[in-house]
A and B are shown apart, each in its own frame.
Chain A
């Protein structure tokens, strides 16, 4: 994987990045840190297979992500189907106050 391809994924998915010994990137969804990946600094070839595994994608999906066939929404759907993004917990609606019973003060 080329550096510009990595950066394309970072920009497309809106990954948060931090420069350290490597360039770290992570994907946040609904307030949760969901996946993280990294690349080394410089312009050398990056281990695409390992970055793909960190992004939880297969080869076709990664190619689609780089070539704009896979959108952020599609990516979220992929992560949901793999259980990487937890489905929203079904919250029971809060009981409505009963208007017939006046509150005691």
Chain B
């Protein structure tokens, strides 16, 4: 701001001495020949928490996400719930990132348990296992 003020002074009054030249991508100073009578101010609403995100990693070093996981975020009181609706799995936490961490932990645990029980999974869990393998890879 100080630099910009100096630039304005140098440009408008043509004072002797070194001139400060702003970089080309910086906003350029404008000198008005009339006094400012009216300023329009736009106030934007605060960015809300997104409802949907794509999760690209899970907090388990043995797992790699090979296809982004669509996560729905929901707030109940002071708890954030991150859910993967396709497989009815969820994680909770006091913030979006903690809820996603919990979901990642749940996904890792679910992967291992379904892998162990693979021969005796019911139809729905077999479908869940297929979806999991599509999105997550185990690298022990």
Interface size bracket, B side? 20 to 34
B122's partner among A34, A40, A47 (CB-CB below 8 A) is: A34
**Taking CB as reference atom, which chain A residue is nearest B123?**
A86
Top 6 closest A-B pairs, CB basis?
Answer: A34-B122, A32-B122, A50-B90, A53-B88, A84-B124, A54-B88
Interface size bracket, A side? 20 to 34
Q: Is A78's beta carbon under 8 Å from chain B? A: no
Which of A7-15, A18-26, A89-97 lies at the binding interface? Answer: A18-26
B125's partner among A21, A36, A47, A50 (CB-CB below 8 A) is: A36
Given A40-B92, A44-B79, A50-B81: A20 in contact with B120 (beta carbons within 8 A): no
Q: Is B131's beta carbon under 8 Å from chain A? A: no
Given A20-B109, A24-B109, A33-B125: A47 in contact with B90 (beta carbons within 8 A): yes
Q: Is B121's beta carbon under 8 Å from chain A? A: yes
**Taking CB as reference atom, which chain A residue is nearest B87?**
A54
Chain B positions near chain A (C-beta within 8 angstroms): 76-77, 79, 81, 83, 88-90, 92, 102, 105-106, 109-110, 113, 117, 120-125
Q: How far is the CA of A89 from the CA of B123 in the complex (A)?
A: 13
Tell me, rounded to whole Å, the shortest Cβ–Cβ distance linking B111 to chain A. Answer: 12
Tell me the dominant secondary structure on chain B's binding face: mixed
Q: How far is the CA of A86 from the CA of B124 in the complex (A)?
A: 9
For A38, the chain B residues whose CB sits under 8 A away are 106
Q: Is the CB of A31 within 8 A of B120?
A: yes
Q: Is A35's beta carbon under 8 Å from chain B? A: yes
Q: Is the CB of A47 within 8 A of B76?
A: yes
Q: Is the CB of A21 within 8 A of B109?
A: yes
For B123, the chain A residues whose CB sits under 8 A away are 83-86
For A35, the chain B residues whose CB sits under 8 A away are 122, 124-125
Tell me, rounded to whole Å, the shortest Cβ–Cβ distance linking B84 to chain A. Answer: 10
